[in-house]
A and B are shown apart, each in its own frame.
Chain A
Amino acid sequence: MIELKNDQLVFRFADVHADARLTIEFQRTLRIPDDDRTYPLPPGLGRFPIRHVDDFAVNVPEPWIEHGGVMLPMYQSEALWVNFHSSYPFAVRVATGKIDAVTGKQLRPGLGRDPQNYLAIPEQPWLDGYCVKRGEIRQFVAMPLGAGYSAEEQITGAAESGGLQLVAYPMKAKVYERLRLDRAGLVLGRGEFTKVFAMAAPDMGLAPGGRMRQEIFDDPHKLTDWDQDHSGRCFVHLANSFAWRQITGEVPPTVPPTAKEYTKAGLPWFEYYDDRLEAVAGSSIIEQLKSVAGMGREKGDVPLPENQAVHATPIVVLRKGLAKGQVREGTF
């Protein structure tokens, strides 16, 4: 079951294992320049608010009620990253507009290893975008659904789903118990409604933005270790922030700082490595997509204000998997 608590989605599989609890939240962040340079990880600027679509059924588009799930507000050209928190292992699929963010293929049920179509949690702490190639992603950037920028529209030619979809599968309880022993503490029904007013279409989709260094880790477990008989899924609708107040009566978060403002203030960027893990190769489907800036140039639009390159320093390097005092062998 999935619960919404404190702007976080809490997935629980009490019938699999008492520890099988996964928290997923969406972090506000700055948009990195979409200029084909590769940037480090941008910071987290706090959680996006999340609400049940059912609580605002009168004000949200009809398909949102059909999809069920939750919603959060995003400005056009705003970026987000997904933060995972669990000590119990999970395989999590992330799709935008029902296009898998790791493989670029249509979201169909089930986990696959060739290519890997999921993230292994807790090894994968974050996801900032679409897996373009080994060690590189393109940032998730919100664009109005129907404007042609989203990964969904570029791949399927239609603006049908939008939003972001999550499907989580817990590890089989017996595998978890075995790992735990091995490692002594795994680190690892609505009524009738009438629309009362018309408003701008609030539906946003995610599109590939600037390039960023981030590894999607190859699953260190076996495919059969995951309990595919149990899964929980959630449709996360993205509402244009300008419509958020009309929908919910709440003020959306402010516009995040630009990459330039952030860097000028001397605030840090991040890099994350885990020396125990390999990265999966990227998706050739996603690699071929046009970035928001690239498509804007074709359309004669300027979809991304403030898109100048920045010198992303200082960089804080976060490194997992080295024993204390161990010297890391680099590439040379």
Chain B
Amino acid sequence: MAKGFGDFVRKRREALRQRDERFSVRQVAQRIGVEPSFLSKVERGDVPPPSESKVVALARELGEDPDVLLALAGKVSSDLQDAIRKRPELFGSLLRELKDMPDHAVLRLVREVRDGKW
């Protein structure tokens, strides 16, 4: 799992680095507040993915969805965990209800960019 996460991060970071030097290991590490050698190890899969807050910071840097990156790291965002803990019955049944629904049905719940007349 760590390898998949690291590979994903490295590929995306290198794609962004093509036209933007700020996406070197050193600079990305600096911006999310870890040592460059640590980020290198994460990318190689030598160490497990970092903490939730670092994964979220990394996702924002790389323009990736934090939840997707967290899932790749084998984690679930703590705000989602909190939401379930606060209303376990409601959210438990909601998620079980939705888990087998096709994506397009679930996406109806998400806020869309509204299109108008042009």
* B99 in the interface (beta carbon within 8 A): no
Spot the interface stretch: B16-24, B40-48, B74-82, B83-91.
B16-24
Asked if residues A1 and B110 are in contact (CB atoms below 8 Å), the reply is yes
Selected from A41, A44, A65, the residue in CB contact (under 8 A) with B116 is A65
Smallest Cβ-Cβ distance to A12: which chain B residue: B107
Secondary structure at the B interface, as helix, strand, loop or mixed, is loop
* A270 in the interface (beta carbon within 8 A): yes
Spot the interface stretch: A66-74, A139-147, A247-255.
A66-74
**Chain A contacts for B63, CB-based, 8 A:** 6, 8, 23, 25, 47, 85
Bound form: Cα–Cα A191–B21 in Å: 45
Selected from A233, A234, A270, the residue in CB contact (under 8 A) with B19 is A270
Q: How many chain B residues touch A (Cβ–Cβ < 8 Å)?
A: 25
Those of A120-137 within 8 Å (CB) of chain B: 125-126
Asked if residues B117 and A43 are in contact (CB atoms below 8 Å), the reply is no
Secondary structure at the A interface, as helix, strand, loop or mixed, is strand
* A5 in the interface (beta carbon within 8 A): yes
Bound form: Cα–Cα A313–B94 in Å: 57
Smallest Cβ-Cβ distance to A68: which chain B residue: B116
Asked if residues B112 and A2 are in contact (CB atoms below 8 Å), the reply is yes
Asked if residues A66 and B118 are in contact (CB atoms below 8 Å), the reply is yes
Chain A interface residue count: which class? 35 or more
Distance in Å: Cβ of A16 to nearest Cβ of chain B: 9
Bound form: Cα–Cα A22–B86 in Å: 34
Selected from A3, A5, A69, A98, the residue in CB contact (under 8 A) with B115 is A69
* A285 in the interface (beta carbon within 8 A): no
Bound form: Cα–Cα A206–B60 in Å: 28
Bound form: Cα–Cα A3–B59 in Å: 17
Selected from A44, A47, A68, the residue in CB contact (under 8 A) with B114 is A68
Contacts from B to A (Cβ < 8 Å): 15-16, 18-22, 59-60, 63, 65-66, 102-104, 107, 110-118
Contacts from A to B (Cβ < 8 Å): 1-6, 8-10, 12, 14-15, 18, 23, 25, 27, 41, 43-47, 52, 54, 65-70, 85, 98, 125-126, 161, 165, 233-235, 267-268, 270, 272, 316, 318
